[in-house]
Structure 1
């Protein structure tokens, strides 16, 4: 029997602590009608962003919305980890006049999106790229926060499993990182997680750590850091070598990022590979791939196994939107 589908349009989104990406598709998810990237922190609520976006569209109102959210989903509701936003599926559907709203962890939609990527947005860090079937795959993304997800192969397809793995305890690997932990524990006495290191603010904390260890900066550098996006400036100064403290911060960031990606791969036994997504991956991981790979593979007795696991950087900023759209299509086909 032929499925009848859904009339109206489809709204998909990727809600992050820095940016919210929204896309509107036709009722079958085949044609893009409208898209926008909006600064999250300039809006008091998600509803404010969504109303503005939908109000600019001369198209049928969405009947289905799938939204990736940076935070855990519980009882069909979520609080965005790095924003004061609270989202509820039922309340959103009512206030925005949507037929159905589904909230999904943002790394879960990104993981699903990794299964639908064209080859030109996947940059392998070695000779192979992660597999699309047959083995489990891990997905990690450092950005405003640190997200992690699993793609578990069940024998016929990948099942997407969200996690809050970015909030596990940070584990020092050597004397320098013990010193770093002590530095961070003064800032975050309740808990030092990997997200406190592997995020935009984490890069800033690493820079502060190396400055505190004696990496004094010039007044010109201090002036640059006081203007605009401080963390982005640190990344730029570090990758270019214009600042010694920033360069050390970038190197250590890449090494710890690789180590935690390796931890994730080991815990899942992700022999199919690891996808590294997010804006930071496109810059720091590709710019410091040796440090990242060394951190990933340095696992003692399991170093040989780690060297066989393929890793790739995803350069597509719309990977979360791709995943949300795939999930929306699943809902429509199930009708």
Structure 2
């Protein structure tokens, strides 16, 4: 078998197994042809299966008579090499082994936020909740940002009638204090390498970091220690520190989203996703969010024109992967070194 050196895939062989594999959960579906709806399988916890291979066998292949010829996997981690380690998960993706043991003719491995970026092109409007104003320019750059286990960021740019996803590590950009309250809270944040990155605040462990910092700024003992406890207490109003933490979390998410909108000139929109975002969505104050998002002098006017959406689809990456599987020529996905083919 060979690692294909071609830059992009123009045609993939059906049926196609698609998978969104995160640090905590994995979701699978099969696309049988260019027009069929994807056949979905139950979501699983990665910790419940020792390997990806066993998960595919138990959750997919043992439950259907369809034998996929191609696998397109989106994974939370770097996608180079014949053995791909996943971030926050013990699974190792071995494309050659999948070809040998499970009969795939082709295996393509993408980054999970590439799949999220593909999804912002594929999703219908019913799955997008606008946050404030702005007007989408259809064939313009877009950005997806998602606080979850980590802070995922990816762009998707349009050129030569093709959508090109741009994965990266945008979740690790610096974030600094701006308001008087920020200057009270930020000295108490746990840093990494002496700095505060977006992911030090805008993810599950970041939410805990921010909660502790808010408590210390007010000389209080933090009563909660888990992200789910903080979000629950914020939503029911039982812990004032948790309420302020969630409010600040959304404000800081707005600031970084505005930065990314400028970097990508994202007139096609900023798309918010991620488990933490969805949990605290009822607390989202659109006016406060947009005020923080737009406050980018001297380019406030530009930011005011950029739409922001919350992705409401619970399996958006699979929608992106399905769109790619059906018509890969629509997308400029660079698969060099990430596409394995049986001899």
Q: Which category describes the TM-score, using the shorter chain as reference length?
A: 0.7 to 0.9
> CA deviation digits over 1:89-133, x for unaligned, max 9?
3233334332211111111111111112122111111245644x3
> CA deviation digits over 1:299-333, x for unaligned, max 9?
12112211111111110011100111122223599
SS of 2:36 mapped into structure 1: coil
Q: CA deviation at 1:142?
A: 1.2
Deviates more, 1:155-164 or 1:168-177: 168-177
2:162: which partner in 1?
157
**Are residues 259 and 77 of structure 1, via their aligned partners in 2, closer, same or farther at CA, if it must alter by over 3 Å?**
farther
1:80: which partner in 2?
86
Residues 72 and 108 in structure 2, CA contact (< 8 A), matched pair in contact too: yes
2:308: which partner in 1?
311
2:228: which partner in 1?
232
Q: CA deviation at 1:5?
A: 7.0
How is 1:212-223 mapped onto 2 (pairs within 5 angstroms)?
212-214=216-218, 216=220, 222=223
Q: CA separation in 1, counterparts of 2:11 and 2:251? A: 51
Asked if 1:6 corresponds to 2:6, the answer is no
Deviates more, 1:152-161 or 1:286-295: 286-295
**Are residues 173 and 45 of structure 1, via their aligned partners in 2, closer, same or farther at CA, if it must alter by over 3 Å?**
farther
Q: CA separation in 2, counterparts of 1:82 and 1:25? A: 28
Asked if 1:210 corresponds to 2:207, the answer is no
How is 1:284-299 mapped onto 2 (pairs within 5 angstroms)?
284-285=280-281, 287-288=283-284, 289-299=286-296
Asked if 1:196 corresponds to 2:200, the answer is yes
- The match for 2:36 among 16, 30, 41 is 30
Residues 254 and 285 in structure 1, CA contact (< 8 A), matched pair in contact too: no
1:125: which partner in 2?
131
Query: Over aligned residue pairs, what C-alpha RMSD do you find?
Result: 2.9
More RCO (CA 8 Å, sep 6+): 2
> CA deviation digits over 1:175-227, x for unaligned, max 9?
544554443345x4466421121111211211121222336479xxx5xx57x
**Are residues 215 and 318 of structure 1, via their aligned partners in 2, closer, same or farther at CA, if it must alter by over 3 Å?**
farther
2:173: which partner in 1?
168
1:44: which partner in 2?
50
Gapped runs of 5+ residues in structure 2?
A: 1-9, 332-343
Number of residue pairs matched by the alignment: 322
Deviates more, 1:252-261 or 1:92-101: 92-101
- The match for 1:102 among 100, 108, 113 is 108
Q: CA deviation at 1:231?
A: 1.1
Asked if 1:273 corresponds to 2:269, the answer is yes
Q: CA separation in 2, counterparts of 1:78 and 1:175? A: 44
Residues 23 and 35 in structure 1, CA contact (< 8 A), matched pair in contact too: yes
2:257: which partner in 1?
261
> TM-score under structure 2 normalisation?
0.83
Asked if 1:321 corresponds to 2:315, the answer is no
1:252: which partner in 2?
248
